[in-house]
Amino acid sequence: MPEFPDIEVYRTALAERIEGRTLARIRLKNPFLLRTAVPPLDATTGRRVTGLRRIGKRIVIALEGGLFLVIHLMIAGRLHWREAGAAREPRNVLGTFEFDDGNLYLTEAGSKRRASLHIVEGEQGLAALDPGGLDVFAIDEATFARTLRARNHTLKRALTDPHLFSGIGNAYSDEILHAAKLSPLTLTSKLSDAEVATLFDATKQTLFAWTGRLREQAGGKFPEKVTAFHDEMAVHGRYGKPCPRCGAPVQRIVYADNETNYCARCQTGGRILADRALSRLLHDDWPRNIDELG
């Protein structure tokens, strides 16, 4: 799922291409993409784009007259830009936003169709779609600490809770916790003030660095290869590969459709965290410490 760095790069790339331009029309290839009925789809026709925003993991296209297009890409949704006159459109298109100088395509791989488009009117309508998570770049350390400790969750859950923090998901929470040298299963109530300060700095630095890195990789072009997995990542998606800090093999906890990646030596004092499926299967053969794997 595209997260803060991906959404920010999308936002700036879109601003460069469509801000100030007129939306000719929106064509839906899948009617289930649109999740609202009022205002109607044709109310957007002929309106000029006045700005681009981010709300959590959502991209907001502001139109004149107080209308907003709110795009949530979910897991497999992606955006693509084609200049006017381009011969081919991308595969798996759900919707096309037509402008005079090009088209913005919303695609989604697979068949689950989770990506969504909302059309809302006014700031109040937009606020109704905001889960309320705080932007870590807009708060101080005290606010971060207070928000983090408001509920006694694991660090992984707290960082990825959209009602607490804005735009952080599975991938970058792994990278943040590795940078902070903290276990994903540490309870927020157990953190010292020093650990909170370290986590706050790691969160901002990780998101800032990756936003810059992804923007540099795009090289001024529209970001076409948005993914949650990058070779430069420290632990996310790198199960079994060496930790770039200590060389120990990266570990994982698998749950539902997601997994948490971490370095046992750097983050958990060498302890291997229980994986629900494998630890139940292996019982006493489940390794408890990173050194048992050697």
Contact 255, 277 (CB under 8 A): no
Is pLDDT at 284 greater than 80 in this prediction?
A: no
Verdict on whether the full-model pTM lies above 0.85: yes
Q: Which two tokens stand for residue 239?
A: 């199960």
Q: What is the pLDDT of residue 172?
A: 98
**CA neighbours closer than 13 Å in the CB half-sphere of residue 250:** 21
Is pLDDT at 146 greater than 60 in this prediction?
A: yes
Q: What is the pLDDT of residue 294?
A: 46
**What's the pLDDT tens digit per position in 104-123?**
999 999 888 899 999 999 99
**What's the pLDDT tens digit per position in 12-46?**
999 999 999 999 999 999 999 999 999 999 999 99
**What's the pLDDT tens digit per position in 158-207?**
999 999 999 999 999 999 999 999 999 999 999 999 999 999 999 999 99
Which residue ranges form the domains of the chain, and what is each CATH number? Answer: 4-127 (3.20.190.10), 136-293 (1.10.8.50)
